[in-house]
């Protein structure tokens, strides 16, 4: 089990919960020939103590990556929850996502050609679709609405978005 765990953490950025899930799955698939059940949770704790797994660092990297790709706070929270990052370890990552919310929303809008990055003015149906896409990407409603309602070519800054959100 130790070899499986070390091989996994050497290949993938992971959390304690994901490592535990992986080892439990491998145990089910391969079975165990020992007399006692293996202490998988103890193994995961020992690997985390050695610094091979760091949930807080994982959370910060994940939040930075998602924000850079244009995803919002809700999507970051969801990704951290799925990865098994607890509230304490994910606090700094959620703060990072909150600080980068406006910039991430603009990146998403630029990538999807929404609002000020659109080629032509959107009809009401297209604005509704764009708004829904931004909300699915994890952006809050006020921020998404401010971007979607901007006219193509309009210059909009993250500071203006933050003011509109307040």
How far apart are alpha carbons 111 and 136 in whole angstroms? 15
pLDDT band at 33 (very low <50, low <70, confident <90, very high): confident
Among 20-24, 33-37, 44-48, 85-89, the minimum mean pLDDT is found in 33-37
Helix extents (H) in the chain: 2-11, 16-30, 40-49, 55-68, 73-83, 87-99, 101-112, 124-136, 141-148, 158-165
| Residue 18, helix vs strand vs coil | helix
pLDDT band at 30 (very low <50, low <70, confident <90, very high): confident
pLDDT band at 159 (very low <50, low <70, confident <90, very high): confident
**Which pair of structure tokens corresponds to residue 1?**
């089990």
H or E element, residue 155: none
Residue 11 has pLDDT above 70, yes or no: yes
**Mean pLDDT along residues 46-71:** 95
1 contact partners, CB below 8 Å, separation of at least 6: 23, 26, 27, 38, 40, 43
pLDDT band at 48 (very low <50, low <70, confident <90, very high): very high
pLDDT tens digits, one per residue of 121-155 = 889 999 999 999 999 999 999 999 999 998 898 88
């Amino acid at each position: 089990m130790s070899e499986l765990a070390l091989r996994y953490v050497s290949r993938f950025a992971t959390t304690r919960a994901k490592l535990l899930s992986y080892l439990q799955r491998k145990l089910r698939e391969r079975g165990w020939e020992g007399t006692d059940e293996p202490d998988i949770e103890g193994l995961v704790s020992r690997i985390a103590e050695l610094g091979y797994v760091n949930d807080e660092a994982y959370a910060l990297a994940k939040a930075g990556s998602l924000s850079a790709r244009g995803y919002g706070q809700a999507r970051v929270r969801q990704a951290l929850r799925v990865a098994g990052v607890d509230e304490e370890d994910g606090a700094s990552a959620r703060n990072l996502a909150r600080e980068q919310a406006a910039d991430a929303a603009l990146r998403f809008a630029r990538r999807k050609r929404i609002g000020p990055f659109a080629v032509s003015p959107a009809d009401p149906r297209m604005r509704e679709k764009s708004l829904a896409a931004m909300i699915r990407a994890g952006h809050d409603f006020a921020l998404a609405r401010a971007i979607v309602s901007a006219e193509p070519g309009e210059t909009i800054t993250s500071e203006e978005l933050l003011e509109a959100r307040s």
